[in-house]
């Protein structure tokens, strides 16, 4: 089945919007704005949040804490139902979950903008599904679109859980995993729908290079979660007043594994890049190499230089783009002549 150029271009816009959600989420993280809106989907009970504390009732912290406590209770009961009783008990007895932050206009609007990007991405994905339903319903891609839409809805719901549990680390990790899964599915969808209208040319590579790229992909995927743990460790050290010079030792093993795997990925991509330049000179491999170099550079700055928080956002952006490029390359390599029935 042939899809219109307009439909393909719109799916590129959807992919960009999903990436904007990831970037906005990272900015929320580095500014500590995750609790800028204590409720969900509204923000302080309004679709457009207030700009000053005077617009809120005097007991707003107690009121939203009560609402959040009820949501945590529901979530912990759900965890017990699916057999995660230990996790449920830990969550219920964690005092940090029940700490309500005072109103901060800057943090509130940063979190609000993050939610706006999520709203735009979610509705764009809904439009793609409806487009498929009315114009391309005979295509098997309809089910792929439906799956990603359901995952996006789950991601939105789980975002409310992240807020309700006051940013408990493991919920942030799941939130990240879901974002990567949605990106991967959207890339697959766009590749198959594009047909011959692809950014990178069709190609054929040796099996050993394909295996190395899979290794790079798996390590990159793991690195993003490991990086989340490193960031959580650093945030904890900052709260304790530990200076940057002691962050490496304070985080410990996760940091050293994260750093070592980064250099391993660089070595593997250098080998792949070398053979690529001697052979087909594929654009996807060149782009992967450049993005990885920028990611490593930003990582070095974060580890050894006192840089602004935007560098952390750039670090996550480069990692996410590398993940996306590798997804694109591997999906395309596996089904280089895939056609939608």
Report the chain (341 residues): mean pLDDT per 10 consecutive residues: 88 93 81 75 83 81 78 83 82 75 84 90 95 90 94 86 70 84 92 66 68 87 79 69 70 79 85 82 78 77 60 76 84 55 41
DSSP 8-state class, residue 103 = P
Quote the percentage of the chain above a pLDDT of 90. Answer: 16
Q: What one-character-per-residue DSSP string does 240-263 give? A: TT--GGGHHHHH-HHHHHHHHHHH
The model's pLDDT over 69-80, given as tens digits with 9 standing for 90+, comes to 887 788 888 888
Would you tell me how many other CB atoms lie within 10 Å of the CB of residue 308?
10
Peptide bond into 19 cis (omega under 30): no
Q: What one-character-per-residue DSSP string does 30-41 give? A: HTT-TTSSSSSS
Let me know: does 80 contact 88? Beta carbons within 8 Å. yes
Let me know: does 76 contact 92? Beta carbons within 8 Å. yes
Would you tell me how many other CB atoms lie within 10 Å of the CB of residue 339?
10
The predicted pLDDT at position 338 comes to 41
The predicted pLDDT at position 337 comes to 41
The predicted pLDDT at position 341 comes to 41
The predicted pLDDT at position 186 comes to 94
The model's pLDDT over 131-179, given as tens digits with 9 standing for 90+, comes to 999 999 888 899 999 999 999 999 888 877 776 676 666 777 788 889 8
The predicted pLDDT at position 68 comes to 76
Would you tell me how many other CB atoms lie within 10 Å of the CB of residue 333?
18
Taking 3-state DSSP, the helix, strand and coil percentages for the chain, each rounded to the nearest 5, stand at 75, 0, 25
Which domains are delineated in the chain?
A: 1-197 (no CATH), 203-341 (1.20.120)
Task: Say which residues have a Cβ less than 8 Å from residue 71's Cβ, sequence separation at least 6.
Answer: 160, 161, 164
Closest CA to 34 of 121, 158, 162, 154: 162
The model's pLDDT over 46-62, given as tens digits with 9 standing for 90+, comes to 888 888 888 887 777 77
Average pLDDT, the chain: 80
* Exposure of 3 in the CB half-sphere (CA atoms within 13 A): 32
Q: What one-character-per-residue DSSP string does 251-311 give? A: H-HHHHHHHHHHHHHHHHHHHHHHHHHHTT--HHHHHHHHHHHHHHHHHHHHHHS---THH
């Amino acid at each position: 089945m042939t899809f219109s150029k307009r439909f393909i271009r719109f799916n590129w816009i959807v992919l960009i919007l999903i990436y904007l959600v990831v970037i906005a989420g990272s900015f929320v993280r580095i500014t500590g704005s995750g609790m800028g809106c204590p409720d969900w989907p509204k923000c302080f009970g309004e679709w457009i949040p207030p700009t000053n504390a005077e617009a809120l009732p005097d007991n707003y912290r107690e009121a939203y804490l009560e609402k959040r406590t009820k949501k945590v209770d529901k979530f912990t009961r759900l965890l017990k139902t699916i057999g995660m009783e230990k996790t449920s008990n830990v969550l219920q007895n964690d005092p940090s979950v029940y700490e309500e932050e005072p109103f901060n206009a800057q943090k509130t609007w940063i979190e609000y903008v993050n939610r706006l990007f999520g709203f735009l991405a979610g509705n764009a994905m809904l439009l793609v599904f409806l487009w498929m339903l009315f114009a391309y319903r005979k295509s098997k891609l309809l089910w792929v679109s439906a799956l990603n839409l359901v995952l996006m809805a789950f991601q939105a719901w789980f975002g409310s859980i992240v807020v309700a549990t006051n940013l408990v680390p493991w919920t942030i990790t799941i939130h990240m995993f879901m974002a990567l899964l949605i990106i991967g599915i959207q890339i697959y969808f766009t590749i198959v729908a594009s047909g011959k209208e692809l950014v990178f040319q069709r190609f054929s590579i040796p099996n050993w290079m394909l295996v190395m790229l899979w290794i790079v992909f798996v390590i990159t995927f793991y690195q993003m979660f490991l990086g989340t743990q490193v960031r959580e460790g650093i945030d904890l050290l900052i709260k304790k007043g530990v200076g940057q010079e002691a962050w490496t030792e304070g985080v410990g093993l996760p940091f050293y594994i994260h750093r070592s795997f980064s250099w391993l990925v660089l070595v593997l991509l250098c080998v792949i890049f070398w053979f690529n330049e001697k052979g087909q000179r594929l654009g996807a491999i060149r782009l992967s190499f450049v993005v990885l170099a920028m990611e490593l550079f930003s990582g070095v700055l974060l580890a050894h230089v006192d840089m602004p928080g935007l560098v952390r956002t750039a670090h996550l952006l480069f990692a996410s783009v590398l993940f996306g490029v590798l997804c694109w390359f591997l999906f395309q390599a596996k089904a280089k002549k895939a056609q939608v029935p």
